[in-house]
Amino acid sequence: MRLEKIQEYLREVNLPYQYTEYEKMGSIDLEYRGVPYHIWEFYDEGYGVESNVENAGKSIDYTGDYESEVIGIMRGWE
């Protein structure tokens, strides 16, 4: 299972999501206040995610400690 920190956070805040894993990479789709969001993991000389959690209309790539960075953005939704 991948994206474990993000999944744990989503469970903590009771936000429903769908998790899929394909070719050893995780994918999370969720909806918050009627807006669809995605967190799609990729590998390009290291793991990262593409997500629209910062701006629903635009996907951004996150690398490094990407799970903590994405969680930090989602904490701002509260």
**pLDDT tens across 33-71, in order?**
999 999 999 999 999 999 999 999 999 999 999 999 999
Domains of the chain by residue range: 4-75
pLDDT of residue 42: 97
CA 69 to chain centre: 9
Calpha distance 51→6 (Å, rounded): 12
pTM across the whole model: 0.94
pLDDT of residue 78: 75
pLDDT of residue 74: 97
pLDDT of residue 62: 97
pLDDT of residue 49: 98
Q: Position 35: which residue type?
A: V
pLDDT of residue 68: 98
